[in-house]
Amino acid sequence: MIKLSSSNFPEVKKVELGAGFEMEIPLVYEKLKQQAEKEIERILSKYPKAFKMWKLLNSDPEVHADWDIANFIAVGKLKYNDHGEVHAKIVAQNALKMLEILLEHGILPDIMKMHAGDEDDVHLVVLAAALLHDIGNVTHREDHHLHSVYMAIPILNRLLPQIYEHPEVMFEIRNHILHCIYAHGEKVKDLTIEASLVGIADGTDMTKGRGRLAFDTGNVNIHTVSALSIEEVSITKGEEKPIRILIKMSNSAGIFQVQETLVPKITRSPLEDYVEIIAYTEPLGSTSDQRIVHRLIIKDGKLVPK
């Protein structure tokens, strides 16, 4: 069991993460998981194939075991931020929310653009890739995006036939999912809009609850301190671009998390021209603090004051 200190963060909740593995997480992060599950079900309620895949993955013992041990390796052994079930569901939620906005703007993902599937298929691909993108951490953090692909193949081969009757169609959908999983790696280029959605959503999960896990297990560095400075991340419709990622920070240390984690996921991806970032510290306009930055936007791949 990974035991977290509650002295600085009193709202800690013990959650069962499988038959023989337990850990304690901040209550606020557990609430984020519940919100993510609710939002995922809201978005997928119109898409029967994707909704069925959600039910299959969310109840699958192998998937849950992978989430559990991925977190054991990432948090328990390496003292990284959360890479388990909560992270996977937050990534899925944010990827699906961005997909929803793109479709409202008439921007078609690659599967639809190439007439290889419909909206339901796209939602299934994005959902499955988001939920499985980090399971390779059970093997090791190094090359985890590649390990995630290997580990996802038997899971997808087992579950997708319950949704797709035609084997060739099923395997093509599976292969789209595998590209999304592999391409979330830091140095791998996203080649499809679907992969970009998963990669960018991966970078949006940086709120303080996630950083609390690593911080309280003794990993005090710029990554964890920066993560603790992120109060809230929300996905909304943008003004200058279709998608806006709004980041509320308690202090300017959060800029590191935005610059190092999120910006690289957006720049040079197929969605670079469709996503805007607004990062700001609160309270806005305050003259009583010594914050260096109050409001930032992304421009030409860099964060600039606004």
pLDDT of residue 181: 96
From CA 93, how far away is CA 64, in angstroms rounded? Answer: 18
- Give 92's contacts (C-beta < 8 A, 6+ positions apart): 36, 40, 126, 127, 130, 131, 201
Distances (CA, A) of 81 to 5, 66, 141, 187: 15, 16, 12, 19
From CA 83, how far away is CA 37, in angstroms rounded? Answer: 16
In a domain, 215, yes or no: no
pLDDT of residue 151: 94
Domain-terminating residue out of 204, 235, 251:
204
In a domain, 267, yes or no: yes
Statement to judge: residues 244 and 189 lie in one domain: no
Q: Is the dihedral of CA 268, 270, 274, 278 positive or negative?
A: negative
How many angstroms from the chain centroid is the CA of residue 206? Answer: 9
Statement to judge: residues 247 and 286 lie in one domain: yes
Overall number of domains in the chain: 2
Evaluate whether 181 touches 149 at the Cβ level (below 8 Å).
Answer: yes
Statement to judge: residues 237 and 171 lie in one domain: no
Query: Could you report the per-residue pLDDT of 30-49, keeping only the tens digit for each?
Result: 788 899 999 999 999 999 99
Statement to judge: residues 271 and 240 lie in one domain: yes
Statement to judge: residues 84 and 152 lie in one domain: yes
Listed residue (233, 208, 211) closest to 224, CA to CA: 211
pLDDT of residue 89: 95
Q: Which residue has the higher pLDDT, 102 or 290?
A: 102
DSSP run (H or E) holding 195: helix 193-204
pTM of the entire structure? 0.84
Query: Hey, is 16 helix, strand or coil?
Result: strand
pLDDT of residue 147: 87
Query: Could you report the per-residue pLDDT of 40-93, keeping only the tens digit for each?
Result: 999 999 999 999 999 999 999 999 988 888 877 777 676 667 777 888 999 999
Evaluate whether 110 touches 269 at the Cβ level (below 8 Å).
Answer: no
Domain membership of residue 238 as a residue range: 227-305
In a domain, 1, yes or no: no
pLDDT of residue 16: 46
Tokens describing residue 275: 């996503």
Asked if the model's pLDDT at residue 205 lies above 90, the reply is no
Statement to judge: residues 161 and 199 lie in one domain: yes
- Give 276's contacts (C-beta < 8 A, 6+ positions apart): 238, 239, 240, 241, 243, 244, 245, 297, 298
In a domain, 6, yes or no: no
In a domain, 140, yes or no: yes
Statement to judge: residues 232 and 171 lie in one domain: no
Which range scores top for mean pLDDT: 136-150, 160-174, 248-262? 160-174
pLDDT of residue 208: 58
DSSP string, 118-151: -HHHHHHHHHHHHHHTTGGGGT-STTHHHHHHHH
In a domain, 126, yes or no: yes
In a domain, 75, yes or no: yes
Query: Could you report the per-residue pLDDT of 215-244, keeping only the tens digit for each?
Result: 555 556 666 677 677 888 899 999 889 999
pLDDT of residue 20: 58
Domain-terminating residue out of 146, 170, 204:
204
Statement to judge: residues 155 and 284 lie in one domain: no
Statement to judge: residues 254 and 169 lie in one domain: no
Domain-terminating residue out of 204, 236, 257:
204
In a domain, 283, yes or no: yes
Statement to judge: residues 163 and 96 lie in one domain: yes
270 pLDDT band (50/70/90 cuts)?
A: very high
279 pLDDT band (50/70/90 cuts)?
A: confident
Which range scores top for mean pLDDT: 10-14, 142-146, 163-167, 288-292? 163-167
pLDDT of residue 222: 65
Statement to judge: residues 193 and 242 lie in one domain: no
Tokens describing residue 35: 């919100």
Statement to judge: residues 262 and 196 lie in one domain: no
Kindly report the average pLDDT of the chain as a whole number.
Answer: 81
Query: Could you report the per-residue pLDDT of 91-138, keeping only the tens digit for each?
Result: 999 999 999 999 999 999 999 999 999 999 999 999 999 999 989 888
